[in-house]
A and B are shown apart, each in its own frame.
Chain A
Amino acid sequence: MSSSRAAESSLLALNQQEELEDLPREYPLSTSEDEGDSDGERKHQKLLEAISSLDGKNRWKLAERSEASLKVSEFSVSSEGSGEKLVLSDLLEPVKTSSSLAAVKKQLNRVKSKKTVELPLHREEIERIHREVAFNKTSQVLSKWDPVVQKNRQAEQLVFPLSKQQSIFAPIEHVVSGWKARTPLEQEIFNLLHKNKQPVTDPLLTPMEKASLKAMSLEEVKMRRAELQRARALQSYYEARARREKKIKSKKYHKLLKKGKAKQALKEFEKLRKVNPAAALEELEKLEKARMMERMSLKHQNSGKWAKSKAVMAKYDLEARQAMQEQLARNKELMQKIQAASESAEEEGGAEEEGEPFVPDVVNEVQVKADTPNPWMFRNHSGDTKEAEVQGDPEELAEPAAQEAPESEEEGPVVAEEILLKEFKERRSLRQKSRLNQIAKPVGSQEAKDLSSQEVLSELRALSQKLNRESHQSRKQELSSTRTVLAVQREEPAGEEEEPLLLQRPERARTLDELEELGKEGCFQNKELPRVAVEGQQLERNPSNHLGVPKEKKRKEQMIDLQNLLTTKSPSMKSLAVPTTVEELEDEERDQRQMIKEAFAGDDVIRDFLKEKREAVEASKPKDVDLTLPGWGEWGGVGLKPSAKKRRRFLVKAPEGPPRKDKNLPNVILNEKRNIHAVAHQVRMLPYPFTHHQQFERTIQTPIGSTWNTQRSFQKLTMPKVVTKPGHIIKPIKAEDVGYRSSSRSDLSVVQRNPKRLSIRHKKQLKKISVD
């Protein structure tokens, strides 16, 4: 065996030698000596083998090569013996220089670029992957049935067999062609028809013609397409825009947007007012409704989670404080009763208008430094000055207003809104005024005074101013002693408030809310002045006109201080800006109680319970039976009652029942109505599909019989869930039954073609999976 192999190898070597003979001379063939050596070696080896085979044991021992790797012969390639592997580049190196071996080089290069083929996966592994792929595919195919199954499971009624036998539509031509004229009369008619060349069997129009008749014209189609395209483009554009805008996180942007919207709404409202007052009034009612909603909700009461978190921060963080106050302001603003404001605002407005011209700037500056104005204290002081305030008349304001006109222009847009709102208020106030005139005399007198002469007014005004200053000074001292000074900017607007409040004196006791409002409105008097000026003209016309129109934007900023002051009075709003005092801490407990009292103001639980119990006791008492028959043995009729004697006689007194079990338990009502006999028929636990006992009771209580229902609804209510026709075979559901397209290729053909398909498709999938 080994000898034959050796022979082979020598033959191979010879071949190679022959091939290499046409190599250029640069490569010296200096192998002749080696050749001789190796020949000798082989002979020696053969001899050794022959000897070793003699003992019969190692007969099949493989030939051992003792070739050193360093001694590389051109005839055989081997890396045996050396530690390193044979690399293709080693072979390529000598070839590089020669140009005549281009073909060989190319071949070798190609070999070089190819990667070694990986070991194929284990058979079981391959099968597993096959199965997995097939399963995924099959489950995908099956999931198309999901909606069908779902529908069938939930269906009110299923009628089997599912596939209805479709009525066959045969065109008239087919029917006619299948029908032969047999009777003489028929034949006669046919003859007549044929004579007139009526189309009997031929269709009037070919199918193509019919189709073309049905189709739209080309232009129409084009137009429609263009239209659709445009609509699509527009829609996508708007969608993109909306998405973009929605993504903007800037609060400021959204604020601006909201404001813009509000403005727009107002403008529209104005327009609406002009065009259609009725609709405008409806709008107003909506505002009123919003107010009501706000009053009901706790939305802006600083009581939410957010507000609480802010409250923690508020002591140190100005922004948080502002945010909270803004929220409160919003609450106020929403709660503002538009109608109610008119009365007080009227007075205020008068004051404002009046105050401004007489108070020089210097005075204002002084007031800037003044302490916070306290409405509660005002009231005490202003008591005396009521008369003066009452006479404050818008008419006086005409001239100063003209002077201030340029200032007012700064606030153009805002003013426009306010004018609008004011006009509404005017109207309402007019209405109110007329009412007030009828009701309250003092008011009437006020108005009389409104119309009084200017001299008196001027006098009074002077007086009031004086009073105003005095009171202001004194209050300043008082307040500064009790309170630390607040931020100056905040105080600033509040300072101005003093004058009007001092001047005014309400006729009736004011509610807390109203007072708050008053304070607020007073706050921003200073800034509102320009607007007041603009409206001077209107005010002249209508003396009762007032300026207490809510001015949303500004109020938000200004009202805050007052509210801070008021916090002790209204527990729902916690003041943050105001430094705490001992007084306030004490108040808090009281507030708590107050709050609870307020919250449960309406319900008296204990009394309710007692009442309920009394009723239960009454109901459980056995009733007397009255067997009197009116009109029996005496006159009867409308308005006549049976005599007392008779009633007494026929009244069957019910026996006293056993004492109630809860007789001595004042806080308990024991229901003794449970009927043991009925229990056996009652459902003890709520059955499965129902989630609430009321659901279940409702289903039980709706009767389904024809006694209580009309025939149609009875049929509908008693519709059986599954209907089968006797004698009809029900086939399994088919894809065609439910409108799916069944696979056109038969399973069988697929099976027969399978092996090939498998190899192509699955290899791809296999590759994908193995990569994963």
Chain B
Amino acid sequence: MKVKMLSRNPDSYVRETKLDLQRVPRNYDPTLHPFEVPREYVRALNATKLERVFAKPFLASLDGHRDGVSCLAKHPKSLATVLSGACDGEVRIWNLTKRKCIRMIQAHEGFVRGICTRFCGTSFFTVGDDKTVKQWKMDGPSYGEEEEPLHTILGKTVYTGIDHHWKEAVFATCGQQVDIWDEQRTSPICSMTWGFDSISSVKFNPIETFLLGSCASDRNIVLYDMRQATPLKKVILDMRTNTICWNPMEAFIFTAANEDYNLYTFDMRALDTPVMIHMDHVSAVLDVDYSPTGKDFVSASFDKSIRIFPVDRSRSREVYHTKRMQHVICVKWTSDSKYIMCGSDEMNIRLWKANASEKLGVLTSREKAATDYNQRLKEKFQHHPHIKRISRHRHLPKSIYSQIQEQRIMKEARRRKELNRIKHSKPGSVQRVSEKKKRVVAVVK
């Protein structure tokens, strides 16, 4: 009699090394795994709840300044180094890993208005209220040497902002006009002006590096071309823009932080309508900075909070605040896109996680898979009411909360009034203007 033996290929169950995971045969027959939607829904709900539980974005506060922090700068080569300028003319260099100040310079008399690093990271520039532009070495002076700038340029007027070119030894300052300086010279190689108001900030485009944007206190944003030494276009908004920031992944997109509590994202080729209006702040927006991935940006506001917006959303996905944080003057997103720093009136620089509930440090592959899965589940069920409610819930300080309510009422009233106006006037005589168009007063060629 022939006996049939059960035989299997050992390759299918024997591990190659003992470090390999045991192979687990699985049956994917859907009848064996019923209720997939309800089960995943529950998982998504749990993931959402856990996200809120673990959302602890505040990491550290760097204190040491003796006046409000007026400007921040990232080191282009080192993630751990941050520079900050204060309202008393002091510049400090911080080490983020140690969370300590590694150097302090009394750079200016009066405010340090602007600070920027050179693209190579060897030196940095500051401008101050004392009408000077100073270049400093990044490394401190050796023993016995005196702390003094590499170069000092004495200007005729106050400089209110500075930015360095992304590739070349050129920097731009703003004040009465936009000046472009060669590092080697003491006079600007070209100065561009359009109108007579003081310009509050100037920014180089990080991709098409010959482009500059500036915003002035006569409510306009002006774009310049450095190569042709000419302004390009001017857009006048409803209220003053405090600063602008270019998207580091999309050459023609920039976002302007405005006094009217909103941020406006523009395509610089079509300035007559903003691509998106980002609203959620309840007071003037003072600073804005893009994430290096170009997918989000962070804004600092006078309402003592910072908010993170996805570029394609008009509402913020996150709001950070602490009891002690006062008006936030400057904000920066670190170049590894993981952290956010903000400098505020009450002399502190705070370090936040860009993703509030993210686990820091090295993740095992299974942890990573789990977080990815949870993330995907949250996305999948984001429209379900319970999940939506939980994921959107944020605690807000009372002042902000009440102001939001108040502004909602005001907005509703405006809307109602407009509707009534349309209703009670001759049909067609009152045109409805879209919210985006309303905010742009004029585009000047």
Contacts and interface: CB of A to CB of B under 8 A. Distances in A.
Interface of A: 127-128, 130-132, 134-135, 137-139, 141-143, 145, 149, 152, 158, 160, 680-684, 687, 696, 699-701, 703-710, 714-715, 717-720, 722, 724-735, 746-748, 750-752, 754-755, 758
A135 B232 contact: yes
B152 interface: no
Nearest to B80: A727
A386 B294 CA distance: 91
14 contacts: A134-B232, A139-B269, A145-B251, A149-B251, A682-B384, A684-B385, A703-B36, A703-B39, A732-B248, A747-B170, A751-B170, A751-B227, A754-B228, A758-B229
Nearest to A735: B207
B207 A732 contact: yes
Given A139-B269, A720-B375, A724-B337, A751 B190 contact: yes
Q: How large is the interface on B (under 10, 10 to 19, 20 to 34, 35 or more residues)?
A: 35 or more
B206 interface: yes
A145 B165 CA distance: 20
B207 A145 contact: yes
B397 to A, nearest CB: 30
Contacts of B251: 142, 145, 149, 733
Contacts of B182: 748, 752
Contacts of B167: 746-747
Contacts of B180: 751
B408 interface: no
Contact of A708 (B33, B253, B362): B33
Contacts of B226: 747, 750-751
Interface in B264-303: 268-269, 292-295
Contacts of B225: 134, 138
Given A724-B338, A727-B79, A747-B170, A705 B40 contact: yes
Contact of B293 (A141, A158, A706): A158
Given A708-B28, A720-B375, A732-B249, 14 more contacts: A131-B233, A132-B445, A138-B211, A149-B250, A684-B385, A699-B380, A703-B39, A708-B30, A709-B28, A718-B376, A724-B336, A729-B292, A746-B167, A754-B227
Contacts of B324: none
B258 to A, nearest CB: 23
A715 B376 CA distance: 11
Contacts of B166: 732
B209 interface: yes
B231 interface: yes
Contacts of B210: 747, 750
Contacts of A751: 170, 180, 189-190, 226-227, 229
A681 B28 contact: no
A709 B376 CA distance: 14
Contacts of B380: 699-700, 704
A733 B207 CA distance: 6
B79 A729 contact: yes
A717 B376 contact: yes
A483 B335 CA distance: 95
Given A149-B250, A687-B383, A722 B269 contact: no
A248 to B, nearest CB: 45
Contact of A160 (B207, B208, B337, B373): B337
Contacts of B402: none
Given A701-B37, A748-B182, A729 B335 contact: yes
B230 interface: yes
A100 B167 CA distance: 69
A616 B83 CA distance: 73
A137 B227 CA distance: 12
Contacts of B384: 681-683
B386 interface: yes
A294 to B, nearest CB: 44
B231 A160 contact: no
B261 interface: no
B59 to A, nearest CB: 14
B227 to A, nearest CB: 4
Given A720-B375, A722-B295, A747-B226, A149 B385 contact: no
Contacts of B269: 139, 142-143
Contacts of B385: 680-684
A734 B36 CA distance: 44
B232 A730 contact: no
A676 to B, nearest CB: 14
Contacts of B109: none
A472 to B, nearest CB: 75
B193 to A, nearest CB: 10
B58 interface: no
Contact of A130 (B230, B250, B293, B383): B230
Contact of A758 (B39, B228, B252, B445): B228
A158 B293 CA distance: 9
B293 A722 contact: yes
A730 B372 contact: no
B406 interface: no
Contact of A704 (B28, B295, B373): B373
A703 B30 CA distance: 10
A131 B232 contact: yes
A-B complex: 3 closest residue pairs judged by Cβ atoms: A732-B206, A730-B292, A732-B248
Nearest to A707: B33
Contact of A149 (B76, B165, B249): B249
B369 interface: yes
A765 to B, nearest CB: 11
A735 B251 CA distance: 10
